């Protein structure tokens, strides 16, 4: 109650002011990877004096701190957002919802008329059943037993003829009623479609947020109320189509699209849509710099009772920055404005828009890891010189020489000017095999109790295609970061690269392979450690 009273103080003349309920359909939207800026432009006309312009259909989850209100033609005095205990609007449904409701009523009335006609057509059938029961009761009358034979014969013939006529009339009436009811299935389907169309428009619930703008007009005025609000219930993400053309000068074309959806609880009809790469959740200031103070301490001598416990020591003071996920950005944000109006229902529609197409020079590589894979894989390496970042995406459709291979869902993006790569599937004609020639390992289980281990592995690469390939073969050797654990490794032939991508022990060979070639690589390695210590696998 105190909060409500404090809110009313912002509107000193609310009891005396005229209230103008307004419908405020969305007119413009800028969607970010997460979230959207929603703009409503509402014309109004007011007489001189103080007034309340009440917007009845704000988005679900609206927050006042993220709402900006601009008004022309009058003076803006204050803004109030009510999200709970919202009073009745006092106005009808939005025009599109009203039209959908009227269509539902029309179809329901037509169904009722059909059922009434069918019931009317069945009246003769009902009458026939009554008459048939009456005629049957005549034959059970007590006076029948005293009638002579001629009278009984005449009565029986009369009842038979009447019953036949009655049932014939009933059959005819029932057939006519069924004919009338044949229109019902189509009408019921039409009613279901009309209700589905109405539901897709998502009429606002009675407790949807209402925004009240207090204004003062020195004289009768017309103006426009522009309300800009932020919602976290709209999204877009890139969707790529990657087309690789091989040959002497391989090329890569990236067709870029956008997948758009929204869950604001309202239908967006014929809006002006812009997509932005800005991340509203991205931090806006550099990390705080702290003095890097280091300390030493003298451990407290252990008491006899603490010999088997944890030593007690003074904890050093550590100040850490919080870790935050941020979107990849390259300079200023990029926006895409769609040239045609867009309609997008809440919680129902997922829209794909085409953005543009980018072409890149590329270098192809057949990449092989015999220890894990059975075939080599084709990788295209490129430099992003498109002028903007290629954003991360979980939807990259992969095509090679016009053949669709599948969808890659792990594209991390490439900032402007940086290098990156895209996968283009297995090269099934380049076969890989890893064979353990010798392995010395004592013990079983997770922990070995021997103090030495050795192995010899042969990698075999076979080119069964009719093309010449440059194959980059990857391997990994054991690595030790402890002085007590001694590791020795030898590869034959010698590796062309060591510590690939700054990963210790990762080695690579670049091998040119003509059709039918087979190449082998051997890896011999040993490790040893002092007696009494254990190796954790």
pLDDT digits (tens), the chain, 537 positions:
343 333 333 333 333 468 898 888 899 999 999 899 999 999 999 999 999 999 888 877 788 888 999 999 999 999 999 887 666 555 555 566 677 778 888 888 888 888 888 777 777 666 666 555 655 555 555 555 555 555 545 655 565 556 566 667 767 777 887 888 888 888 888 888 777 766 665 544 446 788 899 999 999 999 999 999 999 899 999 999 999 999 889 999 999 999 999 988 888 889 999 999 888 887 778 888 887 776 766 777 666 555 444 444 443 333 333 332 223 333 457 888 998 999 988 887 889 998 889 999 999 999 999 999 999 999 999 999 998 889 899 999 999 999 999 999 999 999 989 999 999 999 999 999 999 998 886 544 455 456 888 999 999 999 999 999 999 999 999 999 888 899 999 999 999 999 999 999 999 999 999 999 999 999 999 999 888 888 876
What pTM value is reported for the model? 0.65
**Is 411 a domain residue?**
no
Lookup: tokens for 145:
């037993």
**Is 502 a domain residue?**
yes
Phi, psi of 533 (to 5 degrees): -100, 160
**Is 143 a domain residue?**
yes
Decide which of 151, 182, 200 is a domain's last residue: 200
Lookup: tokens for 161:
């003829």
Q: Residue 49 to residues 80, 121, 207: CA-CA distances in angstroms?
A: 19, 64, 29
pLDDT at residue 450, rounded to an integer: 67
**Is 180 a domain residue?**
yes
pLDDT at residue 5, rounded to an integer: 37
Decide which of 200, 218, 237 is a domain's last residue: 200
**Is 149 a domain residue?**
yes
**Is 188 a domain residue?**
yes
Cα(488)–Cα(526) distance, integer angstroms: 5
Q: Which residues contact 333 (CB under 8 A, 6 or more apart)?
A: 276, 277, 278
Q: Which residues contact 367 (CB under 8 A, 6 or more apart)?
A: 376, 377, 378, 379, 471, 472, 474
Cα(431)–Cα(508) distance, integer angstroms: 17
**Terminal C-alpha separation, the chain:** 65
Lookup: tokens for 27:
């007119």
Total domains present in the chain: 2
Three-state DSSP state, 286: coil
**Is 30 a domain residue?**
no
pLDDT at residue 171, rounded to an integer: 75
pLDDT at residue 1, rounded to an integer: 37
Q: Is 251 exposed, middle or buried (0-12, 13-18, 19+ CB in 10 A)?
A: middle
Q: Checking phi first, is residue 167 left (phi over 0); if not, alpha (psi -120 to 50) or beta?
A: alpha
Cα(258)–Cα(275) distance, integer angstroms: 9
CATH of the domain at 452: 2.60.40
Nearest CA-CA partner of 206 in 351, 83, 356: 83
**Is 302 a domain residue?**
no
pLDDT at residue 240, rounded to an integer: 95
Decide which of 177, 200, 223 is a domain's last residue: 200
The residue with tokens 């038979």 is 160
Query: Which residue range forms the structural domain that includes residue 452?
Result: 427-536
Cα(232)–Cα(208) distance, integer angstroms: 16
């Amino acid at each position: 109650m105190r909060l409500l009273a404090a809110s009313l103080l912002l509107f000193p003349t609310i009891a005396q002011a005229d209230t103008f309920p307004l419908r405020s359909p969305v007119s413009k939207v800028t969607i970010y990877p997460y979230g959207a800026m929603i703009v409503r432009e509402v014309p109004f006309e007011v007489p001189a004096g103080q007034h309340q312009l009440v917007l009845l259909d704000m988005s679900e989850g609206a927050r006042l701190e993220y709402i900006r209100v601009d008004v022309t033609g009058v003076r803006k005095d204050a803004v109030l957002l009510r999200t709970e205990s919202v009073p009745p609007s006092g106005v009808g449904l939005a025009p599109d919802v009203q039209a959908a409701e009227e269509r539902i009523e029309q179809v329901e009335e037509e169904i009722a008329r059909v059922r009434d006609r069918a019931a009317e057509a069945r009246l003769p059938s009902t009458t026939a059943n009554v008459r048939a029961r009456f005629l049957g009761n005549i034959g059970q009358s007590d006076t029948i037993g005293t009638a002579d034979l001629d009278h009984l014969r005449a009565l029986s013939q009369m009842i038979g003829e009447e019953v036949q006529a009655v049932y014939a009339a009933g059959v005819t009436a029932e057939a006519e009623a069924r004919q009338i009811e044949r229109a019902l299935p189509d009408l019921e389907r039409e009613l279901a479609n009309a209700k589905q169309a109405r539901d897709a428009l998502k009429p606002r619930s009675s407790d949807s947020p209402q925004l009240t703008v207090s204004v003062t007009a020195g004289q009768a005025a017309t103006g426009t109320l522009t309300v800009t609000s932020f919602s976290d219930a709209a999204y877009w993400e890139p969707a790529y189509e990657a087309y690789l053309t091989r040959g002497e000068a391989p090329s890569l074309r990236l067709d870029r699209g956008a997948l758009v959806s929204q869950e604001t609880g309202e239908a967006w009809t014929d809006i002006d849509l812009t997509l932005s790469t800005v991340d509203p959740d991205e931090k806006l200031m550099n990390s705080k710099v702290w003095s890097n103070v280091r300390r030493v301490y003298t451990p407290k001598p252990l008491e006899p009772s603490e010999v088997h416990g944890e030593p007690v020591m003074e904890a050093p003071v550590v100040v850490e920055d919080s870790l935050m996920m941020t979107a990849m950005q390259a300079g200023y944000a990029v926006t895409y404005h769609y040239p045609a109006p867009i309609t997008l229902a809440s919680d129902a529609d997922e829209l794909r828009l085409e953005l543009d197409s980018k072409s890149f020079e590329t270098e192809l590589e057949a990449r092989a890891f015999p220890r894990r894979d059975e075939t080599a894989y084709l990788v295209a390496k490129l430099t992003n010189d498109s002028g903007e970042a290629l954003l991360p995406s979980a939807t990259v459709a992969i095509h090679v020489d016009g053949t669709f291979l599948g969808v890659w869902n792990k594209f991390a993006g490439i900032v402007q000017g940086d290098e990156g790569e895209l996968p283009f599937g297995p090269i099934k004609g380049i076969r890989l095999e890893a064979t353990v020639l010798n392995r010395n390992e004592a013990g079983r289980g997770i922990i070995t109790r021997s103090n030495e281990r050795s192995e010899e592995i042969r990698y075999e690469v076979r080119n069964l295609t009719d093309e010449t390939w440059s194959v980059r073969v990857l391997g990994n050797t054991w690595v030790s970061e402890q002085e007590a654990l001694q590791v020795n490794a030898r590869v034959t032939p010698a590796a062309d690269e060591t510590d690939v991508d700054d990963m210790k022990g990762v080695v690579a060979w670049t091998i040119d392979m003509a059709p039918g070639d087979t190449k082998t690589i051997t890896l011999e390695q040993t490790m040893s450690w002092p007696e009494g210590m254990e190796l954790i696998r």
